[in-house]
C-alpha cells in the first residue's frame, strides 16, 4: 500500500517522514497495510506487516508524540522500552532522531532476536503512558462550577479518548436530579484504555470539596 496524503500540514509531513524512516530501516521486510490521519493535533496511525515473522508493527502518533508497538499473532505486544532503557523519554513525531531511535531499536530487537512480548495492558516496563500522562487532575473542587467542568472533561475522555467507566454511584453527568444533588458523596472511577490506570472523581456535595486524581 502506498501512503498518499493530500495535505501539506506539519502533521502530514511528520507522518510522511515516519513512514520514510520505517522504509529506510526495515526495507522490503515491511509493507504498509493500513493508515489514517493526520487528524486534530498531529494524531495519526501507520500499520505495517513485518513479513519474515508475521508481526504487526504499529506507529502511532498522539498529540505530537510517537510510539511504536510490535504485535505477534497472539496479539501480545512489544515496545522498545521493554529492552532499551534509553527509549524512556517522549519521542516527538517531528524530531528525526526521536523517530529514528524508536524504529532502529525495534529493528534491532527483531533482528537480534531479543524481542519479547507481553500481554496487552501491561505496564510493567512502561513508566509513562502517552494516553493518560497529561490528564488534568483537580486537587480541590473549590466551586460547583469546577466540578461541573471536570464532569464534562471526564465525559469527553470517555467519548473521545475511549476511557473506560469503571464504577460510580450514578452515570456520568447524572449527578443532579430536579436540581438537587443525588447524594452527599458522588464518585466516579474511570480508567485509561491503554495502561489501565484508574482516576477517581469524588465530590462532597454536603460539605463541599473533592477532587479528580490519579490513583497512586
Ligand atoms: Zn494510560
Q: Where are the domains of the chain?
A: 10-111, 144-214
For ligand 1, the distance from its centroid to the CA atom of residue 21, given in whole angstroms, is 27
* Rounded Cα–Cα distance for residues 193 and 87 (Å): 22
pTM to 2 decimal places: 0.58
- Residue 210's φ and ψ, nearest 5 degrees, are 140, 180
For ligand 1, the distance from its centroid to the CA atom of residue 118, given in whole angstroms, is 16
For ligand 1, the distance from its centroid to the CA atom of residue 123, given in whole angstroms, is 9
> pLDDT of 112-163, one tens digit each?
999 999 888 765 444 567 788 888 899 999 999 999 999 999 999 999 999 9
- Identify the DSSP state of 121: T
41 pLDDT more than 80: no
The position carrying cell 464534562 is: 152
Residue 204 is predicted with a pLDDT of 95
Amino acid at each position: 500500500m502506498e501512503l498518499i496524503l493530500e495535505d501539506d500540514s506539519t502533521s502530514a509531513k511528520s507522518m510522511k517522514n515516519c513512514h520514510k524512516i520505517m522504509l529506510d530501516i526495515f526495507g522490503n521486510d515491511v509493507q504498509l497495510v493500513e493508515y489514517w490521519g493526520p487528524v486534530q493535533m498531529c494524531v495519526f496511525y501507520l500499520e505495517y506487516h513485518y513479513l519474515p515473522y508475521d508481526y504487526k508493527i504499529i506507529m502511532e502518533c498522539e498529540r505530537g508524540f510517537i510510539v511504536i508497538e510490535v504485535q505477534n499473532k497472539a496479539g501480545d505486544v512489544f515496545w522498545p522500552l521493554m529492552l532499551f532503557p534509553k527509549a524512556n523519554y517522549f519521542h516527538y513525531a517531528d524530531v528525526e532522531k526521536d523517530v529514528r531511535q524508536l524504529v532502529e531499536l525495534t529493528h534491532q530487537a527483531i533482528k537480534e532476536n531479543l524481542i519479547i512480548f507481553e500481554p496487552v495492558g501491561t505496564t510493567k516496563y512502561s513508566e509513562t503512558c502517552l494516553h493518560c500522562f497529561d490528564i488534568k487532575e483537580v486537587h480541590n473542587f473549590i466551586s460547583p462550577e469546577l466540578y461541573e467542568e471536570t464532569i464534562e472533561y471526564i465525559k469527553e475522555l470517555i467519548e473521545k479518548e475511549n476511557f473506560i467507566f469503571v464504577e460510580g454511584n450514578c452515570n456520568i453527568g447524572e449527578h443532579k436530579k430536579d436540581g438537587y444533588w443525588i447524594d452527599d458523596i458522588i464518585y466516579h472511577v474511570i480508567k485509561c484504555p491503554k495502561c489501565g490506570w484508574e482516576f477517581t472523581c469524588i465530590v462532597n456535595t454536603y460539605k463541599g470539596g473533592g477532587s479528580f486524581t490519579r490513583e497512586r
